[in-house]
């Protein structure tokens, strides 16, 4: 196993406990920030995500830059004492287990990244198809959304599309965000307008 592969394996294994610690600290932080603004809780969550993104490269760099331990040579004992075999050689099961785990860490992680990447690409394709097939809302729903945006002090124009698919209203897109609504939700919008 090369040095960089060993470093990546160690980073992946160490991230198990590092991620748990970051999640626990975030949980405490969100509990303490429960009465603060949503933006403060959002920033705390972003800081936790940034820490989780930074910890594996730092761990890999530390392991990769560490010099390899020199092989230990044992001198032959001068005394002819009888030492039980269990005392001379402690069981190496944990070391063997860790070595096996390190051997499979990178392939399993790579397979997981591949599966989740395919899932993200498929979801992006589905959302893109929904945006292309989406229809413009009627004038009443557009006016209702514009009024809600003014009440919420949203300065940017809110774009809405009526899609035939999807489970619930959702905001998609980053550069040009769009609110996708199902055709059944158009009926709910008409009911809301009648109550206004």
Please write the tens of the pLDDT for every residue from 13-70: 888 899 999 999 999 999 999 888 888 899 999 999 999 999 999 988 888 776 555 5
Over residues 150-177, the mean pLDDT reads: 80
Give the pLDDT band (50/70/90) at residue 190.
low
CA 169 to chain centre: 23
- The label of the residue with tokens 């009627």 reads 138
152 closest CA partner among 144, 162, 161 = 144
160 closest CA partner among 125, 150, 140, 121 = 140
User: What residues have CB less than 8 Å from 63, skipping those under 6 apart?
Assistant: 6, 7, 10, 11
Least confident of 49-53, 81-85, 159-163: 81-85
pTM over 0.75: no
Query: By percentage, how much of the chain surpasses pLDDT 90?
Result: 22
- The label of the residue with tokens 């097939």 reads 133
Best-predicted range by mean pLDDT (2-16, 30-44, 101-115, 126-140): 30-44
Rounded-to-integer distance, Cα 60 and Cα 46, Å: 22
Tokens matching residue 76: 């032959």
What DSSP string describes 139-190?
HHHHHHHHHHHHHTT--SPPPEEEES--SS-EEE-SSS-EEEEEHHHHHHHH
Rounded-to-integer distance, Cα 12 and Cα 18, Å: 10
Least confident of 48-62, 82-96, 136-150: 82-96
pLDDT at 102 over 90: no
pLDDT at 116 over 60: yes
């Amino acid at each position: 196993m090369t040095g960089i592969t060993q470093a990546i394996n160690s980073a992946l294994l160490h991230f198990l406990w590092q991620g748990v610690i970051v999640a626990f600290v975030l949980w405490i932080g969100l509990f303490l920030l429960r009465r603060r603004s949503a933006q403060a809780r959002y920033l705390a969550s972003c800081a936790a995500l940034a820490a989780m993104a930074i910890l594996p490269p730092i761990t890999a760099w530390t392991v990769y830059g560490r010099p390899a331990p020199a092989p230990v040579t044992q001198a032959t004992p001068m005394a002819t004492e009888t030492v039980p075999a269990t005392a001379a050689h402690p069981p190496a099961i944990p070391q063997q287990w860790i070595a096996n785990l390190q051997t499979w860490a990178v392939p399993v992680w790579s397979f997981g990244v591949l599966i989740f990447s395919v899932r993200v690409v498929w979801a992006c394709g589905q959302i893109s198809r929904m945006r292309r097939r989406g229809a413009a809302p009627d004038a009443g729903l557009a006016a209702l959304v514009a009024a809600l945006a003014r009440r919420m002090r949203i300065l940017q124009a809110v774009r809405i599309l009526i899609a035939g698919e999807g489970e619930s209203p959702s905001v998609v897109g980053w550069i040009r965000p769009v609110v996708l609504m199902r055709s059944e939700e158009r009926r709910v919008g008409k009911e809301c307008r009648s109550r206004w």
